[in-house]
Homo-oligomer: A and B are copies of this chain.
Amino acid sequence: MEANFAKNLTGSLERDFDPSYLARCAQLAMVLEVSASPKPGNVDRDHDYPDTTFEHFLTSAIGTYPILEEAARSHSGVGALIHASARESLRWQRGGNTHFGAFVLLIPLLMAAGSSRPVSEIVEETTAEDAAEFYRAFSVADVYVDAVPDIDLRDAESIDKILKEDIRLFDLMKLSVDHDLIADEWVNGFTRTFRCADLIMEKAEKMSINDAIVCTFLQMLAETPDTFIQTKFGRRKSIEVSNHTSRIIAGNRDLNPIKPRVHEFDRELIREKVNPGSTADIIIGGLFVALVLGLRV
């Protein structure tokens, strides 16, 4: 599907396809994702974390509009746009990092949709300046990540090294591919994001938009261990969470029969502060693609 992204976009829409339209699709993707409930372990309409609430996520999604619109007009500058979106998010709300991973997916997707180019081309063309800006964004957003080998994300000298050795942002993502789902998307053509869009659109034909998002979230989490969990709690825990999710789904295609068990698992993960944040980011990317392709609420 990825190869046809631009073609599908322009072919299937009834309406004008402008930067503002795309920015609103990105806002709505973030708002619908955080609203979808129950999503085990994550902030949703019924669950806050102590310092980061549902309202912080809503506000971040809305506050970043101008950067999202700018991305949809841009042909380069991925790193600077990620940096700008992280800054703007924090200017609007006091809950800390809410959407960093989502921005890393959404910015190149917005650029691709706005310029009718494949997203893989956008990320492959990133430069060392993009990588430097990405590192600057880390310190702004205070993101919890595994260090890329040999490059300490907290160390300002890393930026000098990146620029001197001409390490592109795409190269950095290649170094992180094994322990970061978002980096994996960058390197492997946003495969999960597009698959996620397909799943949501398919399910939304048969159930409410909330349930379509939750069912897709569960399915994606069952299929692939969440790397945000892995970074915080180790590989083993992330696999456990995926296996547990598989057992809960147990072949069900509908949310209702499994809802009590999903709620129970949600409470358990929230108590342990285990949040599948990378899977949520993929859902946001998938929702964005689905909305651009014509999903209607």
Contacts and interface: CB of A to CB of B under 8 A. Distances in A.
Interface string A272-297: 00000000000000000000000011
A297 B92 contact: yes
Given A92-B297, A297-B92, A297-B94, A35 B55 contact: yes
A56 interface: yes
Contacts of A65: 20, 23-24, 27, 65
A270 interface: no
A210 interface: yes
A35 B28 contact: no
Contacts of A28: 58-59, 62-63
Contact of A58 (B35, B53, B63): B35
Interface residues of A, number: 31
A46 B31 CA distance: 15
Contacts of A297: 55-56, 58-59, 92-95
A95 B297 CA distance: 8
A161 interface: no
Given A92-B297, A93-B297, A296-B94, A32 B45 contact: no
B15 A32 contact: no
Given A54-B35, A55-B210, A15 B91 contact: yes
Q: Which 5 A-B residue pairings sit nearest by Cβ, starting from the closest?
A: A45-B45, A59-B297, A28-B62, A93-B297, A27-B62
